[in-house]
Amino acid sequence: MASVTVEDLAKRFGAVTALQPTSLSIEDGEFVVIVGASGCGKSTLLRLIAGLEEPSSGRITIDGRDVTHVVPADRGLAMVFQSYALYPHLTVAENIAFPLKVAKRPRAEIAARVNEVAKALELTPLLSRRPRALSGGQRQRVSIARAIVRRPRVLLLDEPLSNLDAELRVRMRHEFARLHAQLQATMIYVTHDQLEAMTLANRIVVMNAGRVEQVGPPLDLYDAPASLAVARAIGSPGMNLLAGRVTDTDADGTTVQLEDGTEVRAAVRAEPGTSVTLGVRPEHLLPRDDGVFAGPVELFERLGPLSFVHLGARGSSGTVVAQLPGDRRVMLGETLRFGAEPTRVHLFGDDGAAFARVAQPFTLPPSRPVM
């Protein structure tokens, strides 16, 4: 186990700034998940921590020790890549043993450690096979086994499951949760998968354009995204985002007029006249006869336990997606109406920053919809 901190860490590739000066502090044994749009610098940050890239500036410490210029092998960490990067000519056992061989560990210790991790990852029956005789999930388990065989204090994982099919991803996701509990290692995990981020993370780091936008427990980021980039990065299907303008403000919040003229209440503080992006998640839209989010059903996605309807014809404001129970029948073209509790409505300014919420007198949200 080890804490990891980066201070003003930055990376430029020629004219490209892959990572703006970034500071981040990861605690001992924490499971941190990094999310963000493609190209925002997730892999760069991980590779800098691993020592696979030289930083342009800044400092990295592991357990208080400055490792900024320490070679990867001496940082006490291991990395798992999206491409498993196994040696094709070596058996599973030899692949797993490789880091220990390089470290010149005694033969008996190597055998014991390989057997131990193989057992933990259910690879024992496969030890004499070569990688090409393995399924994708088995290969990834071998690459994880190889990464943990030296008992790294920090495990870095860059989209480790993205080459696997849906079912296997779910199994491996559970595997990572178990592994984290078992190893007690500090884990830094990059993914595009919402479920992986929400379920595995102690804290999520949302990155955008080479910067860290927000860091926090998954539900904090889900409930109170600090910016549009975070609102977009967390939740699936994503938050509905509609352009509007604040028309009125009172003690309970603000009224926002959308581009198609409809008015929406938000328990948020913003000055009248401010142009805003209004955000509301599909699961926070409630079917209501007087709901202001209305339109003909353009698309209906039935997922089983729940469904999503896409409502069209909102002028320039775009489509609105709402969640419905799985047994709800819907006809294409039918007009549906939804409302949202003001506490569930987010407002973002032109700079993308979220406006502050109106302080809630009670910790529980109102039990009935409020107009």
Site residues, ligand ATP (CB under 6 A) = 13, 16, 18, 36, 38-44
- Give the DSSP per-residue string, 285-299: -EE-TT-SEEEEEEE
C-alpha distances out from residue 82 to 7, 57, 79, 88, Å: 27, 27, 10, 16
191: contact with Mg ion by CB under 5 A: no
Closest distance to Mg ion from the beta carbon of 144 (Å) = 18
255: contact with Mg ion by CB under 5 A: no
Of 13 and 87, which CB lies nearer to ligand ATP in the complex structure? 13
Contact 110, 127 (CB under 8 A): no
Which tokens in the block code for residue 243? 């352009």
Length of the chain measured in residues = 371
Of 25 and 83, which CB lies nearer to Mg ion in the complex structure? 83
Closest distance to ligand ATP from the beta carbon of 16 (Å) = 5
Binding residues for Mg ion, rule CB under 5 A, total 1
User: Which option in ligand ATP, Mg ion, none does residue 240 bind, with CB closer than 5 to 8 A by kind?
Assistant: none
Contact 165, 13 (CB under 8 A): no
Q: Which stretch binds Mg ion (CB under 5 A): 40-48, 148-156, 175-183, 222-230?
A: 40-48
- C-alpha 248/C-alpha 257 separation (Å) is 9
Q: State CA 280 to chain mean position distance.
A: 19
User: Which option in Mg ion, ligand ATP, none does residue 40 bind, with CB closer than 5 to 8 A by kind?
Assistant: ligand ATP
- C-alpha 185/C-alpha 343 separation (Å) is 38
Closest distance to ligand ATP from the beta carbon of 59 (Å) = 19
Q: Which residue is nearest to Mg ion (CB)?
A: 43
Of 29 and 58, which CB lies nearer to ligand ATP in the complex structure? 58
- C-alpha 164/C-alpha 140 separation (Å) is 9
| 9, 22, 33, 43: residue in contact with Mg ion (rule CB under 5 A) | 43
Of 12 and 105, which CB lies nearer to ligand ATP in the complex structure? 12
Closest distance to ligand ATP from the beta carbon of 182 (Å) = 28
In angstroms, the first-to-last Cα distance of the chain is: 50
Residue 146: HSE in the Cβ half-sphere, 13 Å Cα cutoff: 28
Which tokens in the block code for residue 298? 């353009």
Hey, what amino acid is at 286? Answer: L
Of 43 and 208, which CB lies nearer to Mg ion in the complex structure? 43
Closest distance to ligand ATP from the beta carbon of 37 (Å) = 7
Closest distance to Mg ion from the beta carbon of 150 (Å) = 24
R_g of the chain computed on alpha carbons: 24
Of 2 and 147, which CB lies nearer to Mg ion in the complex structure? 147
Hey, what amino acid is at 153? Answer: R
Binding site for Mg ion (CB under 5 A): 43
